[in-house]
Structure 1
Amino acid sequence: MEMPELPRRIYTLGEEPPTLHSISYHTCWTLHAALKKALHDDEYEELKESKLGVFIKFQELGFDWASRLVHYMLGFQLDINKKYELWSLVGPEPVRFSLLEFEHLTGLNYEYIEDLQRPHSVVRKVLTSFWEMLGVHVEAGPSTQEIIAALERCEGWSRDDRKRLAYPVIFTRYIEGRKYSTPTRVSLARLVMELERFETYPWVRVAFKVLMDSVKGRDISGCYTINGFAQALQVWVYTVLPELGATFGNPLPNNQSPPILAYKGRKGRYL
């Protein structure tokens, strides 16, 4: 059976942008340390076992970022029209990165809802009071910098308020994944006032859109920074190229699930 004709490559084979430059993602190593210090042990364990706890568990892996590997896959992209799909041609067959793959990697809820990016929330007194505790204007979302500052002074807060402060750590670090000083989107940050709603929100869709908006159609000829959960791309490569993942992904025993918890990653040359 003949293979269907594939879309053309974005970069001619053998002429992909070299990996001489840096590819990075936004991170703040002090954020997780501040979170762990601020929460009581049982609160931290409760957060880790919550529906969003997969990100805390991922942080604890000490995952090694392999920028060259991600750069290679972006250089092997096919030129397709679908805005939220990425296809790379490695060898004879293309591999896809889409919402379905991202959901599989994280194991999180990806239910479709209307107004995903701007969920409705009412500005009540309890919200304005909590935003005052954060030290943030009620019409803005907290930045990583402001979240860390709040973590350092939250000892006397109620258990629920400390939990409301903990969730934005996950939001700003793994879902938004933007600059240290960039405010999070207030419409989404306000969801912390409804803890169950925040925990069950389809964050996979939000995180996936942030990541794809950052990499799809990106100029990768120089130094560049990826927004969002960039490490998901690296784990995706390990899963679609299992021999490479087994050799270079530093896989953990017992086939951990979801896949983002199955590898510790490894720096260095791959291809």
Structure 2
Amino acid sequence: CWDFLVPIDLDYKPKVDWDINCHVIHQLKTNLSKRQLRLFKKTCFGYFLDLPLVIVQIRVMHHLLMREVHHEVKNEMQFVVNDSRLRFGLGKFALVTGLKCKGDISIESIAENRLISKYFGTASMTFAQLADCFKKKKWETDDDALKIAVLYFVNSFLFSQLKTKAISRSYIDLVESGDFNNYPWGIDVYKATIDSCSNKFQDKPSFYRLGGFPLALQTWLYECCPSLDGHFADHLGNNKLPRILKWAVMGQIPNERVALQMCSLQRKQLKNITPTDDEKKQFDVRGLSFEIEVECTDSQPSQPDSFQVFGTQLPKTQSMPESTGGDSQPTNAEVMKELQALKLFVENKFEEVLAAIGRQSVKPEGNSAHKQQDDDLRSGKMLYM
């Protein structure tokens, strides 16, 4: 049995903010010349230019994070979806993002950084200054355009940087030196992601923010639950790698629909992701951990005596009293048979309802991704659950 970090409360609906710039690919293609774009394509981040339209689905993320459980493994997140445990670690992150997740993360510092001196004139720069430089195309050479574009991509997309925060001097030195293509960015981005997304609800805050690269966690969920295809996101059916290139995510999903779908997932619909032969050839994942089987328990993680589902108080299931004799008491086998029949009936009804919902098109809330204002410093919006 695995214990949730906090008991699941489906009536807990805080405000959520996120700062990942999901329009960065459009901005790169708009702001860079054809030659500059070709240079970016050749970098370690070039494959992201093939990213389909995506957004962070806040309610999906919220319902996933509520299912985080206690565990003893360092530097990973574990979740129980119904009675199945799913583990999100560095290896899964590598398969989803394609970022290099092995290697030396030490960075050699530069005494005087030419890029900072030339374009910013200060000892440091904020993300707002970097965004202004990128959007106004203040560079003088194609090489500098590439460096500024890489810094903008890394900070606005992979790290969800706040506009008031200073850009890491180490990363500026790394990009200026040209060594950024060999750097294991996945290690840093993964750490930022789990540091920001793990254990969010200890004190039930009325507001929280998702930092790091939450799209990786969201895409991992879809890979673990292929039956969500067509409900929350659309699998494009292509053979592109990494896996984040396979999913288009264009709209927010109503909270009740997310809760219903997550609660109805069955054990047979869940899987842990493991590297394919093509992924083993393309990505260095040797030594990273992958579990083949989904771990299951016959009992749910510990819950309070009752919990809320759409405003209805449901009592915790009580054990059947032992028989005291006589023919009127059902046997354990009979009870289990009746429960299995009831379970099958409910599951079939869930599938009918969800199939009907799935036939409806997913409509984005508010402005479409295509209508995002180019002068926005970030694409994150405050959203009520």
The answer to whether TM tops 0.5 is yes
Which of 139, 144, 158 is the aligned partner of 2:127?
144
Larger helix fraction of residues = 1
Q: Which amino acid aligns with 2:18?
A: Y
| Equivalent in the alignment of 2:36 | 43
Q: Distance in 1 between matches of 2:12 and 2:50?
A: 30
SS across alignment from 1:96: strand
CA offset at residue 28 of structure 1? 4.7
Detail structure 1 runs of 4+ shifted over 6 Å in the superposition.
Answer: none
Does the aligned pair in 2 maintain the 1:89–1:95 contact within 8 Å?
yes
Report the TM-score when normalising by structure 2.
0.60
Bigger Rg, which one: 2
Q: Which amino acid aligns with 1:254?
A: N
Question: C-alpha root-mean-square deviation of aligned residues, in Å?
Answer: 2.4
Which of 192, 198, 209 is the aligned partner of 1:216?
198
| Equivalent in the alignment of 1:131 | 116
Q: Deviations over 1:73-123 (max 9, x none)?
A: 11111112334111110122200111111111011211131xx2x522222
Q: Distance in 2 between matches of 1:55 and 1:149?
A: 22
Q: Which amino acid aligns with 1:11?
A: V
Q: Which amino acid aligns with 2:221?
A: V
Q: How many residues align?
A: 253
Does the aligned pair in 2 maintain the 1:51–1:199 contact within 8 Å?
yes
Give yes or no for the alignment of 1:201 onto 2:183: yes
| Equivalent in the alignment of 2:252 | 267
- Matched ranges for 1:142-221 at <5 A: 142-154=125-137, 157-195=140-178, 197-219=179-201, 221=204
SS across alignment from 2:80: strand
Q: Percent identity?
A: 20
Q: Distance in 2 between matches of 1:112 and 1:72?
A: 34
SS across alignment from 1:248: coil
- Matched ranges for 1:1-271 at <5 A: 6-12=1-7, 15-16=8-9, 18=11, 20-28=13-21, 35-58=28-51, 61-113=52-104, 116=105, 119-124=107-112, 127=113, 129-135=114-120, 137-138=122-123, 140=124, 142-154=125-137, 157-195=140-178, 197-219=179-201, 221=204, 222-245=206-229, 247-265=231-249, 266-268=251-253, 269-270=257-258, 271=261
Structure 1: unaligned runs, 5 residues or longer: 1-5
Does the aligned pair in 2 maintain the 1:24–1:224 contact within 8 Å?
yes
Does the aligned pair in 2 maintain the 1:31–1:148 contact within 8 Å?
no
Does the aligned pair in 2 maintain the 1:27–1:180 contact within 8 Å?
no
Report the TM-score when normalising by structure 1.
0.83
Q: Which amino acid aligns with 1:151?
A: F
